[in-house]
Chain A
């Protein structure tokens, strides 16, 4: 099992919004920045959000991140078929002295 907890799957119709939660503890999310990754089948993870809510160059503003206490959330608005992928949250864990990740959330566009 992962240190960070994500829902296994979420779904919505094209154009709608989905949110993905990521729950941790004071050892990780509570005291460190959170990042989010998108992984399309057969490809490497791609950084979507870093430092809780910042988007790398080229990432559309349909993707947003937030953090509160020991939880973080990824939001995707204007859902497109190309958004169908696995999404992972990640952060640093101070007790493990290691990067930790959720087990991933599969987004399905209905």
Chain B
């Protein structure tokens, strides 16, 4: 079955770039079905969608307006993983970050597989 394994640092200094990866097993990051999403969750923001990437003959990405100027979600076909980079972080970016798969991108079908979550604290 499909599994997502997240990795990355749990502590990031203010103004630096948060970087996380999500390794995919049981599916391919470049298959023509799913979209690969990143979320975060905090008591103040709840569950917040950050963005996604997917392949349809070429790569597409779209991002939440709240982070659009600071976020990049990239596929890595060689390692079959997807990465999240969030730049210029502040303590307000402290949250648990999740990657998740949406099995089809033709319509909203829900996120059927989730990573285990990574707690990221922004602090000096």
Taking Cβ atoms with an 8 Å cutoff, the residues of A that contact B are: 2, 32-33, 35, 37, 43-47, 49-51, 56, 88, 90-92, 96-104
Q: What is the chain B residue whose CB lies nearest that of A28? A: B108
* Range for the number of chain B residues in contact with chain A: 20 to 34
Tell whether, in the assembled complex, residue A101 and residue B117 are in contact, meaning their CB atoms are under 8 Å apart: no
**Contact status A33-B62, CB under 8 Å:** no
B54 within 8 A of A: no
Q: Which of A44, A47, A98 touches B115 (beta carbons < 8 Å)?
A: A44
Q: Tell me the chain B residues, 93-124 only, with Cβ under 8 Å from chain A.
A: 98, 100, 107-112, 114-117
C-alpha spacing A44/B26, complex, angstroms = 19
Q: How far is the CA of A35 from the CA of B109 in the complex (A)?
A: 7
Chain B 55-92 near chain A by CB (<8 Å), digits 1 or 0 = 00000001011000000000000000000000000000
CA distance in complex: A37, B116 (Å)? 15
For A33, the chain B residues whose CB sits under 8 A away are 107-110
Which of B46, B64, B65, B108 is the most central at the interface, judged by chain A CB atoms within 10 Å of its CB? B108
Q: Which residue of A lies closest to B102 (CB)?
A: A99
| B117: contacting residue among A2, A44, A88, CB under 8 A | A44
The reply to whether A98 and B108 form a contact with Cβ atoms under 8 Å apart is no
| A104 to B107 alpha-carbon distance, docked (Å) | 23
Note all chain B residues with C-beta closer than 8 A to A43: 117
Q: A45-B98, A90-B108, A103-B46 known; 5 other A-B pairs, CB under 8 Å?
A: A32-B108, A44-B100, A44-B115, A51-B110, A99-B49
Which of B's residues lie within 8 Å of A, judged by CB? Answer: 37, 46-49, 52, 62, 64-65, 98, 100, 107-112, 114-117
CB within 8 A of A45: which of B48, B109, B114? B114
Docked CA distance A3–B48 (Å): 11
Residues of B contacting A99 in the complex (Cβ-Cβ under 8 angstroms)? 37, 49, 52, 108
**Residue pair B110, A90 in contact (C-beta under 8 Å):** yes
Given the interface pairs A45-B47, A88-B47, A104-B46, the reply to whether A98 lies near B110 with Cβ below 8 Å is: no
Contact status B109-A97, CB under 8 Å: no
